[in-house]
Structure 1
Amino acid sequence: MRTRVAIIGAGPAGLLLSHLLGLAGVDSVLVERQSAEHVRSRIRAGILESSTVELLTEVGLGDRLARESLAHQGIYLQWPGHRHHLDFHDLVGRSVCVYGQTEVTLDLMRALAAAGRTAFYEASDVQPHDVESDRPFVTFTDADGTPQRLDAEVIAGCDGFHGPSRTAIPDSVRQTWERTYPFAWLGVLADVAPSTDDLIYAWHPDGFALHSMRSHHVSRLYLQVRPDEDLSEWSDDRIWTALATRFGAGIDGWELKTGPITEKSVLPMRSFVATPMRHGNLFLAGDAAHIVPPTGAKGLNLAVADVALLARALTALLTEGRTELADAYSDTALRRVWRCTHFSWWMTMMLHRHGDDFDARLQLSQLERVINSRAAARELAENYAGLAIGY
């Protein structure tokens, strides 16, 4: 087989790249190790920045998003005895919306099918080759057990942290930075209407808690726990009790609604960045190049920003022979990656209980600064609502 762009990974990053290239008349083929159903059902991010919403709308993926997403003006910052609303629209003229990654993925898969673009799911032994040459290719075994070779002009590695693309960059070239945090999130989905109009980020001596949502009828909630937390020790009653305590249920008449918990998982917390994001004719995007803790709601949005830049660069390269955008891709993308990595780290360290009482007082001081200083509030809002894709 031959294509212009071989895309390894058919999650949101790979699917969106295929969609954007298709609109520009550039042929691509997707290769994914998981099944389509597995990719479609993965519970991940739910907050879309304004620039992400604008891009999806511009490229014909905004109809269902406009109907079913939940618009959010801002967030609540909370600590015992205090809950303060940050109005992003007032502060920076932008807002965010809740629309789960599962829904974004479904929209992209429908667009893929409608356009008739090729995707191989349940591929094994996927490996990029000759990425430093002008004839790179990908080998894999398809779902029927047949060995395949996909020749291309460019390979896009959108295959996540554990995929083969990043390791195809030689050790002598590749650099990595990593921070592992001493806590994790216990995340739950519950069939209950949200108890809040905007997300609540709560600092508490027992640990951080977050109240998010997936729809008018489904809530997404998180508790700070140990990285090695045993889920079997967390009954539904224990989870609801801990959430009520950390959110201060009963204060000023506010109550936490409870309901059936349909999904539980423990999410590790880490920051990771790999450079460069381009080597020869191999380009990385999304989790293949960087991971951020979910506190800043940046993961999916960073992947979208990467792909938007990459699609422009590859279109210019493959349709016009212009190399400047492709040559600048890694540096341009990494500028935004490091900004979002810092913001995610800052939100994480401000809101999660760690260290001793001295650390706690520093955290509370920072929270008070944010809600008492419009400049500090604007900085948080600007980063949370999203920087321009070309930042």
Structure 2
Amino acid sequence: MADRFDVVVIGGGITGLMTAWNLAEAGAYVALLEAGDLGTQASGANAGSLHLQIQYPEFAAYGEEWARAYGPCLGFLKDSLALWQELSDRVGEDLDVKLGGGVVVAQTDAQLETIARKAAIEGAHGVETKMLSRDELQALAPYLSDKAIGGGYCPMEGKANPLRATPAVAVAAQSAGVTIHCNTKVAGIVKEPEGFEIVTSSESFRAKRIVNAAGAKAGTIAAMLGVNIEIDGFPLQVTVTEPVAPLIPHLVYSAAGKLSLKQAANGGCIIGGGWPAARRGDGTLATDPTSLTGNMSVAAGVVPKLGAMRAVRSWTAWVNGTPDWRPILGEVPSCGGFFLALFPWVGFSAAPMTAQLTAELVLGKRPSTPLKGISVLAD
């Protein structure tokens, strides 16, 4: 006989683990299924940024109409970052959570004007982004290049350590009673009168409800129940430098090129920003030398001292994304009992709030934040 659970969560990243943890703490009998090892995809390989403001490259590419449609998600992210600040105490381990603020750096008047238009939309949704002059920016961030003519400063952004966060949440989930099955790939799902049968590579499980938190593979999982969701995986890469003395207390972006930059607690500077990794013929990923060169060039152009540092390691990650960036959260209307817990592109930042609301919905509670205007399932 297949094991029977109240809820089966599919996906062992930080969102899946936190959802399972919340459900178990509320008294549910929960199993979590992960195709590989916990946190080895986006949750463990991301750069650890805690994003809040609208991303500059997308705003510049898609425009104000897109940003206004995405705007309600900012309140969701704001609440999630507040939960991040509580997470170290909750798991009993220092997760290196620091909200030192995020800076978008402009090198031209046109870029500065675009940042100002973005800041106006953010402000309309309760997220403060203060516009800074050249002198104000240099006073705040003296490590920046003298080419910086100003920028926008969002004081609530920051960073966390993904190599600590996901394992710590996994321990907490197990302590709460979650049964975790690693190297357990879902091969099929059958809808039954009173729930679902989930067939895996090694055994079967039965559950009243399912949470799909499979990230880049979520579309494949949903298709097993005839549910079509527009989500895909994107191969990205990140680089870290040798440890150096404290230099960068902020999360730094550039309006002149794709960049996210921060300094970890050990002194290494983590450099990313959405540069693509290369796909091998067998489907695995490798770092792309062209992306590495481009990313390092943008970073050194913003923070000149980076040019003298040695890059010691680059790595790749699959990140899930959608064209409109909006989350896919909630129960699928056409498939009762099947829930989606997906926040594209910035899922690490959104994980605590995604998990909290998903658990509330699965348990039949009123969500603490209304999802209308946020989740595409609530439109």
Q: Same fold (TM over 0.5)?
A: yes
**Is the alpha carbon distance of 1:303 and 1:167 closer, same or farther for their aligned partners in structure 2, counting shifts above 3 Å?**
farther
CA distance in 1, matches of 2:15, 2:374: 16
Greater share of helix: 1
CA distance in 2, matches of 1:192, 1:79: 28
Question: Which of 71, 86, 93 is the aligned partner of 1:64?
Answer: 93
Question: Which of 139, 145, 150 is the aligned partner of 1:84?
Answer: 150
The TM-score, its normalising length taken from structure 1, stands at 0.63
**Is the alpha carbon distance of 1:129 and 1:191 closer, same or farther for their aligned partners in structure 2, counting shifts above 3 Å?**
farther
Unaligned runs of 5+ in 1: 90-94, 143-147, 293-297, 339-389
Question: Which of 168, 174, 177 is the aligned partner of 2:224?
Answer: 168
Residue 197 of structure 2 corresponds to 137
Q: Quick check: 78-87 or 225-234, which moved more?
A: 225-234
CA distance in 1, matches of 2:148, 2:262: 19
**Is the alpha carbon distance of 1:268 and 1:122 closer, same or farther for their aligned partners in structure 2, counting shifts above 3 Å?**
closer
CA distance in 2, matches of 1:270, 1:40: 11
1:291 aligns with 2:341: no
CA distance in 1, matches of 2:319, 2:175: 36
Residue 54 of structure 2 corresponds to none
Residue 124 of structure 2 corresponds to none
CA distance in 2, matches of 1:61, 1:285: 21
**Is the alpha carbon distance of 1:10 and 1:232 closer, same or farther for their aligned partners in structure 2, counting shifts above 3 Å?**
closer
Aligned length: 297
> Structure 1: which amino acid aligns with 2:80?
T
Unaligned runs of 5+ in 2: 51-76, 109-146, 280-285
CA distance in 1, matches of 2:161, 2:349: 12
Contact 1:76 1:83 in 2 (8 A): no
CA distance in 2, matches of 1:240, 1:9: 30
1:245 CA displacement:
4.9
CA distance in 1, matches of 2:30, 2:266: 37
**Is the alpha carbon distance of 1:224 and 1:30 closer, same or farther for their aligned partners in structure 2, counting shifts above 3 Å?**
closer
Matches within 5 A, 1:187-336: 187-193=238-244, 195-204=247-256, 207-222=257-272, 231=287, 233=289, 238=293, 242-243=297-298, 245-247=300-302, 249=304, 258-265=309-316, 271-272=322-323, 277-278=331-332, 279-286=335-342, 291-292=344-345, 298-315=346-363, 317=364, 325=366, 332-333=370-371, 335-336=373-374
Deviations 1:23-69 (A, max 9, x none): 1111100111102473698311513355224335279535434x732
Contact 2:259 2:299 in 1 (8 A): no
Residue 126 of structure 1 corresponds to 187
Contact 1:209 1:247 in 2 (8 A): no
> Structure 2: which amino acid aligns with 1:200?
V
CA distance in 1, matches of 2:274, 2:207: 45
1:333 CA displacement:
3.9
> Structure 2: which amino acid aligns with 1:130?
K
1:7 CA displacement:
1.0
Aligned-partner SS, 1:137: strand
**Is the alpha carbon distance of 1:69 and 1:302 closer, same or farther for their aligned partners in structure 2, counting shifts above 3 Å?**
closer
Contact 1:209 1:246 in 2 (8 A): no
CA distance in 1, matches of 2:275, 2:88: 40
> Structure 2: which amino acid aligns with 1:96?
E
1:263 CA displacement:
1.8
Contact 1:52 1:301 in 2 (8 A): yes
Identity of aligned residues (%): 13
CA distance in 1, matches of 2:20, 2:330: 22
CA distance in 2, matches of 1:2, 1:18: 15
1:24 aligns with 2:80: no
Question: Which of 17, 34, 37 is the aligned partner of 1:35?
Answer: 37
1:275 CA displacement:
8.5
